[in-house]
Structure 1
Amino acid sequence: MQRVRGISPGLICSTRYMWQIFGRHKSHRLYSSASALKAAESYQPGQRIHGFTVEEVIPVPELYLTAVTLSHDVTRAKHLHVARQDSNNVFSVGFRTTPMDSTGVPHILEHTTLCGSQRFPCRDPFFKMLNRSLATFMNAWTASDYTMYPFSSQNPKDFSNLLSVYLDAAFFPRLRELDFRQEGWRLENEDNQDPDSPIIFKGVVFNEMKGAMTSPEQIFALHCQRNLLPSHTYSHNSGGDPLHIPRLTWQQLKDFHATHYHPSNSRFFTYGDLPLEGHLEVIQQQALASFSPITPETEVPNEVRWTQPREKHVHCAPDAMAADPEKQTTVSVSFLLNNLTDSFEGFTMSILSHLLVSGPTSPFYQALLQANIGSDYSPVLGYDGSTKDASFSVGLQGINEKDIKQVKNIIEETFKKVVETGFEKERIDAVLHKIEISQKHQSTTFGLQLIASLMQSWNHDADLANILRVNENVQRFQTCLAENPRFLQDKTEEYFLRNNHRLSLVMTPKEDYNEELDQEEKRLLEGMVSGLSQEDRKDIYVKGQELAEEQDKEDDIAVLPTLKVSDIEPELKRTTLEFKQTDGIHVQCCEQPTNGMTYFRAVSTLRSIPEDLMPYIPLFCAVITKMGAADMTFNEFAQKEELKTGGLNISHHVCQDPNDMSSIEQGVSLTSFSLDRNFEDMFNLWSDIFNSPNLNDMDRLTTLVRMRASELAMSIPDMGHAYAMKHAGSTLSPVGRIQEICGGMAQVSFMKRIAESSDLTETMEKLRQAAGLILNKDNMRCALNSGPEFMNEALGHLQRFLGTLPGASQEKGLPLLTKIDGFNSESQWTHFELPFPVNYVSRGTQAVPYTHTDFAKLRILARLMSAKFLHREIREKGGAYGSGATLGTEGSFKFFSYRDPNSLQTLETFDKAVEWAIEASYSQQDIDEAKLSVFSAVDAPVAPSDKGMSLFTSHISEDMKQEQRRRMFAVSKEDLQFVAQRYLALGAQVDSVTLLGPQNTATKSSKWNILQDSSL
């Protein structure tokens, strides 16, 4: 599940789809892009194009784009086209979806819409088409008040194909009852082959939302939104409450589509270097020409403002990973702010929010987090522009229940202090600097990010010109400050001290919370089942058989077009790199059009790390840039960092020799970037960290430790499959072992123990030891990505920086790989018993390094198994939200499932997938589709800032990549059978199994190692 900032929990479904559709319609205009930007600039208001009328042309030079807004003449559908010299073209269609209950109707509709349409009537074409496209992105999600279907592609033919499928899916879906029952919910025999087995709830969304609502963060965010905006659609869970989902009927789903998925309620978006006319022609011919206008009546009213503040107390399950069982309370205060359609007010409030809560220089960070009352900010934090009336929230989690009043008092007093003293000019300048950097930084997903951010306001008819013209908002903001130095103080007083529409929300753990939910679900189920007649029960069994037969049926997918392997470029696009020696340090230089920005990276390799120090390395990386340095406190350092850079980051680095699984490189990675004019200042800050780090402030370390431990614990419900895979790989390779220690369940447990400690003296000493090993240039290499006009100057700044560092540079050449002797792979079966209603399952098997001749075969096999077997068996039949197989560069082949109602049954399915692969009942077309899918990832666009980074961070050269490319083209059915038997068949290699999930009697056997809450 993908989580988007500001959108309530469980309200986003991020099912991924990569699909192609044939281009038999007239779409030749999509293939010419040379004059797209000039054409957009030449449009005039009132001009008619393929059934649309141009409303406004909006040049936005600061973002290097021209936007055109249009309206469809008949249906009044809205269209925004953003012309920009970017080959990663984007399309999206969105609908305002405003449910008035918590049955999850928009979420289930999102799933069911994508299960076949009039022109493409095969079952679940979108997952089948994952392998038939070179799309760079395919997604769909349901937010609180809209549903959106975006895709992107660099290939014009691919874009044309995808556009056809999206249009048909959104406006002409089949919406069959079978698909509703599979994707939404159904009553079915637990064993669908046994009519006498118990009848239970099944369904993909039903299980997804049971998993989504496991996280205390998600529960808190949902209650915050529904209680702050209680009068209309926001009081409901658009993702679906598992206790309400079974109330939704198939007819209600179809009715919701008819009223909400209509062009009169739609917003189209196109972006990139393809011409607008071709997009509009296809949209008109394939979709809008079939509709007459309606009045959708989906407008969301503004919330009626309260005359008195309100309070709400809710519960969640106890956190098994909490450092202090007595400190599991969360409290926040939320305020309803401006109407989202007032773009300048929203811009102002987002700046004010950043000043109030972001970073250690903010007043709330200092008042709440540095007080060490709790572990971290409350889950809902800062400005939230995802609802028609925006909001602001601030609070703490991980507090003792007796401290609730104190936290509320601190919040109130902090606002008063801000009104009295305001903000330092440097802090405001730092925020404006951040905006400038965001405009210049080039992202490969700019178009997708743009529509994701615009949709929230555009959904409520905000003026897009006012939002897009960032510089005008900046200038107006600066004018307001110049005319009224108390401008932000007045806003603080207006929205926070004199605002009665505020909600105090408290969440405390309840020991039997999960048991109560289970009982409620059982009562709901019993209520539905108890009234069933024998005929009803027979009908349920028959429908279960019908669905199973449909799921087993081999679809005729001839209606689905596909790109061919021959459409893939045989040669990769190479990047020009230069290699230099600066102060004895190896430097990789890559000249790119970076818009006046320069990107610095370094890897400091540690040839050996003491075993007892290794788990501390991630903590060291997390805190070393946040403790202060030289003569600066952490607040002062953070202020300079924001003013001069895009951030200074250190992370744990480990990679495997592409040629040898037993040779590794381990250390830390440094990453930062800045405007060219600030590059020297950025290095001065790095120099302060290396030469004079502050590792003495115990209060500051306590704050950071609690925050990191809380963050890791809260990540498990959303990332359980990733944790399961890391643990499963921990006994299969040296890199896998290190990844588990430094980023898996072992690290979560380690940080829990550290956070539980009342004395961090030993921890501080370990961090000092780490600093002695890491903060030098003994085994360092660097990389610079910059514009050609600044590269020489950047090298000069780098040389001066390196000259300030302790240590002696190595001139023997890089990389610095260490051979790991004595590592013995072993099988392990581990069950982490956690209070979740769903499971995360992984099986890992030893495989091969990147340059091995079988790596390409296993890579194609992983994609083939995911799409052609695991998806059908684990998601469609089993009801899990996700599943797949993957081959990592660390040399392990891993199966996984995500938010899965099953456990050992899924392990059996993994084994059956291997049997299926060996039997080779798949076709050459299936293999070709798997190749297309792999190449879509291999050839994904790379930002100028990231060019050359696979060589720098992983030692994978372009010659190695080209050889992999050649091998992937050559993979045959016999190759896939061979590697399935050689590496994946039971007993062929050492394998390892990890399960995260609730207690399970099936794991109470001698081969399972069970880790319960107390032993984590």
Structure 2
Amino acid sequence: MANHNFELLHSVKANNSIPVSKYKSKDTGLTVFLAQVEGPLVNGYFCLATEAHDDDGLPHTLEHLIFLGSEKYPYKGILDLLANRCLASGTNAWTDTDHTCYTMTNAGSEGFNNLLPIYIDHILYPTLKESGYVTEVHHVNGEGEDAGVVYCEMQARENSGESRCHLAMLRNMYPGICGFKSETGGIMANLRDSTSHVKVMNYHKEFYRPENLCLVITGQVTPEDVFAALQPVENSIKSKGPLTEFKRPWQSSVPSLDKTVETIVPFPSDDEDRGMVYVGWRGPLAKDQYTMQAIAVLLQYLSLSAISPLEKTFIEIEQPYCSKVGHSIIENTESCIYLTFQNCLTQKSKDIYPKLQEVLSRISKKKDSFDMKRMQTLIHRNVLDAMNNVEDQPHDTIAFQIIGDFLYGHTEDDLKTRLNTIDGFKQLKLESEDYWINLIGKYFVDKPCVVIIGEPSIKLMEEMGQTEKDRVAKQRSELRESGLKKMAETLEKATEENEIEPTTAMLTCVDVPKVASIKFHPISPSSNHNNTTANKTTKFPLYDIPFRFQLDDIHTNFVEMTALIDSSGVPQEYKLYLPLFSEALMEIPIKRNGVLISHEDVISQLESDTLSAESSWGFQGSTFSCGSFPQLLNITLKVEIDKYEAGVKWLQDFLYNTVFTEDRLKIVAKRLVNSIASYKRKGNAVARMILNDLLFQKECNHHIVSAVRQETFLTSIGKLLESNPKKVVEDVENLRKILTNPMNLRVHVAADVKNLTKDLSLPWRQFLPVYGAGPTETGMMKKTYEYILPYTEVKEKSILAGIGSIESAYLYIAVPCINDFNHPDLPSIQVLIQYLTQLEGPMWKQIRGLGLSYSYTMYLSPESGLLCFYLGRSTHIVNAYKEGRDIVLGYINGDIKYNTVELEAARSSLIFEIIELEKNVSDVSHQSLLSYLKQIDHDYNKKLLEKVSKVTIEDLKRVGPIYFPQLFDVNKIRCVVCVNPSKIEEINKDFKELSLNTTVMASIEEGFLAEV
């Protein structure tokens, strides 16, 4: 065994499954946790406790500057360039109120161990140059406008209703001198006028110390290899000599909350119908993990699902107060518990807190019954959820628990408690009804709280737009021409200094690891409709199941079953009902064996029988946004192994035995309408919604589920449910009959077959109602790319829309591209996209690096046959677009040369992203399911890895001119830009100067978006 200075302090098994070991360096105080998570990925979470008592955003600005070079690697971006070579896709970080965490994820341990000492050198010994501060944090450009990556990021979120209300809640929750009330991201006024390079350097000196650094490593790594990789770090720390005495953050007492505070917080919006309400209380101490678990379950009991007390009170009524009741816990030294009431009708917002008090008081005084059976169900669901997290998201789950221990834990027992949540839940099952009622009394009833009423304001939107215009104009005037010139020169000088290229030797100081050693999750797929996956499991015969059926035999403790229903054949007169149909499906009565089961009992029994139950249009879709393969309704249940037959029965009930009633359709329709207000305040969502209308025919579900169109339709349905409810119920029933035709059905099941008992195929053989069987051969579902509107039929090709709730801008551009996953050019196109967009690649440096746009990407979607370019949270949308265009065309035209080292990094990081698609057992099964729909082999991803590794510069030169020029050809693109209304005139003019003629959309509520 190799010599090292790390002492083993504790060894614990997380939920009796994943071994976790805690080590500490005897020489430097560096803490290391190793968690042996199975799978192909190794994750690192490098955490420091950080504390701030102002809004300068020093934790956040420092987080950004860490990536701009270190003592041993003094070049901006070298860390991400090397990460890309180490089978990663760059690095990342987040800043929270009480800590800052740096992350990396690698395919396999070799690349991880190679990158580890380089990353830690950046964290402990960054260069922190002023030139990096200028470009990365804040600067004024030659036009007198504010920019910078951090400034860009904060501008996008500072004045959203959610951000304003959340910050106001914390300001009042933690009065006096307390870091928990600070905006650690930084607010724009401070970033402009108070935050400084010197302050950031001093902050680093205070908090970025080895004894305040905790390395959490999850994956298949050995302690010896990790400690060997850390030896250079240990040597560097020791060479610096003794440090000043360290004061651990968050040791001060937290001022008490002595009285209830209620305040109104206006936020900018272009409609004033719906706002939000936040209600928060002080919760348990962070060290009291048992009570924290109990509060988390209690919040679920109060607000989760249509049968919870708060949803029944505020949503499941004729005249709802809001569209959703959310809940959360902020784990500070003294925690914060809060409820959110979303999309509240503004005239009812002030009634919410008194009504909430009434509901909680009635429960605590036992005037309303406490449903112990449901509480037991919820606790059991939490046990299952903890088991499921070990399979589906083990890396993050373990890391977040360890970070909590690092910040607030003191003993081995504290660590064991955090890592063994299942034991806590099992203990909670033994608690009496009085325990839960007393908990409500102790934390919620007649206790000081903070009530924030978020009110949308058109006036504030207009004032803020004008104020910002005036501020920038004043800034320009005060700087004068000489000052503006000086600002431009400062930025240019800083950019030049930041862009000094590292040597080839440094760029290649780590080797690209071999993929062969990476361990993938095993899977054995079978189906009754595909020759390449013919039935392989004798215990689960598929041949006599009377519809298309797919089985994945995988290592899992659960059974996941998905019914996929093709809606391509639904007549247009019924299609607008699709979102209402899918939203209502699990919240309406069921007729089972001639007995009508109420919707309350359906929800209660479903909670008891399943870990999760959900429906969506397309894969990873949401209510008003389809995922891929949008014509498919996906109904997915996840159940314990012994609930296998119950799961099948539930799936059967949802398809064939639900009873659509007037009252349930009315409530669900109103809830959907109410939820649209917050959707329309999101720039990214609105831009994508408009783009879908420019791209897809009205028969496509991308067009059907559009939020504005659904708002128009559902509002009319609400009126029709008053005047002619039978017509609505009849329409929805007719829709169900069409959808559930066996011709439209396929089912996909993922399970560990050896752990299942009984006749596994019997429930599926009896699944269909008497009216017959469907085909088992592959159906001819219409492809998404077949719904693309011909370019000549699109009236307005480029749209510029104003959204009053956003300050940043968003842009989407789409053009037709390849529509076959087996197309021979696909690997080369993907590598070229990766080359252009990778961290520290051309677009990163020229778009994000210059503070023009916080987010950017290009992506290829063979499923829809589209190539897309996207900019998000942009402070300078026109310049960001121009830089993106010039980069792409520069490479295609040969004006900019490809670089072999950057190609190796692009291939390596793309290989990581492909491997990441199968990071856990659920992901492996989802990829299996998608393979049938994409019409590709099950080993497609593994073959793609090989193809990607062979892409050359010549391949990039060949595919670039074929597919990419049209992305910036103004006569071929479909383009959407969303900006603040105050900037429309200026941005429209600037785009015209680049020959991009945009049509200004006066209102998203009018025109083609609202057409039904």
TM-score category of the 2 structures, normalised to the smaller one: 0.7 to 0.9
CA deviations over 1:781-822 (Å, ceiling 9, x no partner) = 22221113145647335425514x364332350143337599
- Residue of 708, 715, 736 corresponding to 1:771: 736
Q: Is 2:174–2:257's contact at 8 Å kept on the other side of the alignment? A: no
Give yes or no for the alignment of 1:588 onto 2:550.
yes
Residues 555 and 154 (structure 1 numbering): CA distance in 2 closer, same or farther, change over 3 Å? closer
2:711 aligned residue: 751
Task: Map 1:218-297 onto structure 2 (within 5 A).
Answer: 218-231=163-176, 232-246=178-192, 247-283=194-230, 285-287=232-234, 288-290=237-239, 292=242, 294-297=245-248
- Residue of 801, 807, 811 corresponding to 1:832: 801
The amino acid of 2:579's aligned partner reads P
CA deviations over 1:25-69 (Å, ceiling 9, x no partner) = xxx97xxxxxxxxxxxxxxxxxxx833433332234x34123233
Give yes or no for the alignment of 1:1009 onto 2:994.
no
- Residue of 856, 861, 884 corresponding to 2:832: 861
CA deviations over 1:60-100 (Å, ceiling 9, x no partner) = 4x341232334443554443332344453222111111111
CA apart distance, 1:518 = 4.3
The amino acid of 1:833's aligned partner reads G
Equivalent-residue separation in structure 2 for 1:715 and 1:162 (angstroms): 40
Give yes or no for the alignment of 1:59 onto 2:6.
no
Task: Map 1:621-636 onto structure 2 (within 5 A).
Answer: 621-630=582-591, 631-636=596-601
Q: Is 2:47–2:100's contact at 8 Å kept on the other side of the alignment? A: yes
CA deviations over 1:722-771 (Å, ceiling 9, x no partner) = 6545654665577x98363155xx33443365258752537655533332
Q: Is 1:709–1:748's contact at 8 Å kept on the other side of the alignment? A: no
Q: Is 2:13–2:419's contact at 8 Å kept on the other side of the alignment? A: no
Q: Secondary structure at the match of 1:505?
A: strand
Residues 952 and 426 (structure 1 numbering): CA distance in 2 closer, same or farther, change over 3 Å? farther
Q: Is 2:576–2:713's contact at 8 Å kept on the other side of the alignment? A: no
1:95 aligned residue: 48
1:16 aligned residue: none
CA apart distance, 1:522 = 5.8
1:464 aligned residue: 415
The amino acid of 2:711's aligned partner reads M
- Residue of 895, 909, 914 corresponding to 1:933: 909
2:329 aligned residue: 384
User: More displaced, 783-792 or 260-269?
Assistant: 783-792
CA deviations over 1:964-996 (Å, ceiling 9, x no partner) = 445434433333233222222245994211111
CA apart distance, 1:512 = 2.6
1:904 aligned residue: 878
The amino acid of 1:975's aligned partner reads D
Q: Secondary structure at the match of 2:845?
A: helix
Equivalent-residue separation in structure 1 for 2:978 and 2:72 (angstroms): 41
Q: Secondary structure at the match of 2:742?
A: coil
Q: Secondary structure at the match of 1:677?
A: helix
Equivalent-residue separation in structure 2 for 1:182 and 1:272 (angstroms): 35
Equivalent-residue separation in structure 1 for 2:619 and 2:50 (angstroms): 45
Task: Map 1:173-572 onto structure 2 (within 5 A).
Answer: 173-190=126-143, 199-231=144-176, 232-246=178-192, 247-283=194-230, 285-287=232-234, 288-290=237-239, 292=242, 294-320=245-271, 325=272, 327-371=273-317, 373-374=319-320, 376=322, 381-419=326-364, 420=366, 421-441=368-388, 442-456=390-404, 458-461=406-409, 463-481=414-432, 485-500=433-448, 502-518=449-465, 521=468, 539-550=486-497, 553-556=500-503, 558-561=505-508, 567-569=514-516
Equivalent-residue separation in structure 1 for 2:218 and 2:773 (angstroms): 47
User: More displaced, 852-861 or 825-834?
Assistant: 825-834
Residues 665 and 414 (structure 1 numbering): CA distance in 2 closer, same or farther, change over 3 Å? closer
1:893 aligned residue: 867
1:143 aligned residue: 96
Q: Is 2:590–2:599's contact at 8 Å kept on the other side of the alignment? A: yes
CA apart distance, 1:922 = 1.0
Q: Is 2:570–2:739's contact at 8 Å kept on the other side of the alignment? A: no
Task: Map 1:89-168 onto structure 2 (within 5 A).
Answer: 89-129=42-82, 131-135=84-88, 138-168=91-121
Task: Map 1:799-814 onto structure 2 (within 5 A).
Answer: 799-800=764-765, 802-803=767-768, 805=769, 807-811=771-775, 813-814=777-778
Number of residue pairs the alignment of both structures matches: 937
Equivalent-residue separation in structure 1 for 2:290 and 2:619 (angstroms): 45
2:977 aligned residue: 995
Residues 653 and 447 (structure 1 numbering): CA distance in 2 closer, same or farther, change over 3 Å? closer
Residues 161 and 753 (structure 1 numbering): CA distance in 2 closer, same or farther, change over 3 Å? farther
**TM-score, normalising length: structure 2:** 0.86
Equivalent-residue separation in structure 2 for 1:160 and 1:834 (angstroms): 46
Residues 877 and 272 (structure 1 numbering): CA distance in 2 closer, same or farther, change over 3 Å? closer
Give yes or no for the alignment of 1:816 onto 2:780.
yes
Residues 821 and 119 (structure 1 numbering): CA distance in 2 closer, same or farther, change over 3 Å? closer
Equivalent-residue separation in structure 1 for 2:298 and 2:779 (angstroms): 46
2:747 aligned residue: 782
CA apart distance, 1:446 = 0.9
Equivalent-residue separation in structure 2 for 1:557 and 1:517 (angstroms): 49
Q: Secondary structure at the match of 2:761?
A: helix
Fraction of identical pairs, as percent? 16
Residues 397 and 788 (structure 1 numbering): CA distance in 2 closer, same or farther, change over 3 Å? closer
Q: Is 1:730–1:738's contact at 8 Å kept on the other side of the alignment? A: no
Residues 243 and 768 (structure 1 numbering): CA distance in 2 closer, same or farther, change over 3 Å? farther
Residues 235 and 897 (structure 1 numbering): CA distance in 2 closer, same or farther, change over 3 Å? same
Q: Is 2:23–2:33's contact at 8 Å kept on the other side of the alignment? A: yes
User: More displaced, 576-585 or 856-865?
Assistant: 576-585
Which structure 1 residue ranges, 5 or more long, are not aligned? 1-27, 30-48, 191-198, 656-662
1:46 aligned residue: none
CA deviations over 1:814-858 (Å, ceiling 9, x no partner) = 143337599524561112221221111122121112222222222
Equivalent-residue separation in structure 1 for 2:352 and 2:685 (angstroms): 35
1:881 aligned residue: 854
Q: Secondary structure at the match of 2:563?
A: strand
- Residue of 31, 50, 56 corresponding to 2:4: 50
Residues 394 and 992 (structure 1 numbering): CA distance in 2 closer, same or farther, change over 3 Å? same
Equivalent-residue separation in structure 1 for 2:256 and 2:109 (angstroms): 49
**TM-score, normalising length: structure 1:** 0.85
Equivalent-residue separation in structure 2 for 1:742 and 1:976 (angstroms): 38
Q: Is 1:187–1:200's contact at 8 Å kept on the other side of the alignment? A: yes
2:921 aligned residue: 944
Which structure 2 residue ranges, 5 or more long, are not aligned? 528-541, 621-627, 722-726
Equivalent-residue separation in structure 2 for 1:892 and 1:217 (angstroms): 33
Residues 863 and 721 (structure 1 numbering): CA distance in 2 closer, same or farther, change over 3 Å? farther
The amino acid of 2:264's aligned partner reads H
Equivalent-residue separation in structure 1 for 2:709 and 2:381 (angstroms): 35
Give yes or no for the alignment of 1:705 onto 2:669.
yes
CA deviations over 1:209-257 (Å, ceiling 9, x no partner) = 1111243222222222222123311222111111221110100011111
CA apart distance, 1:141 = 0.4
1:22 aligned residue: none
Q: Secondary structure at the match of 1:314?
A: strand
The amino acid of 1:250's aligned partner reads H
CA apart distance, 1:258 = 0.8
Residues 249 and 821 (structure 1 numbering): CA distance in 2 closer, same or farther, change over 3 Å? closer
Residues 137 and 807 (structure 1 numbering): CA distance in 2 closer, same or farther, change over 3 Å? farther
CA apart distance, 1:888 = 1.2
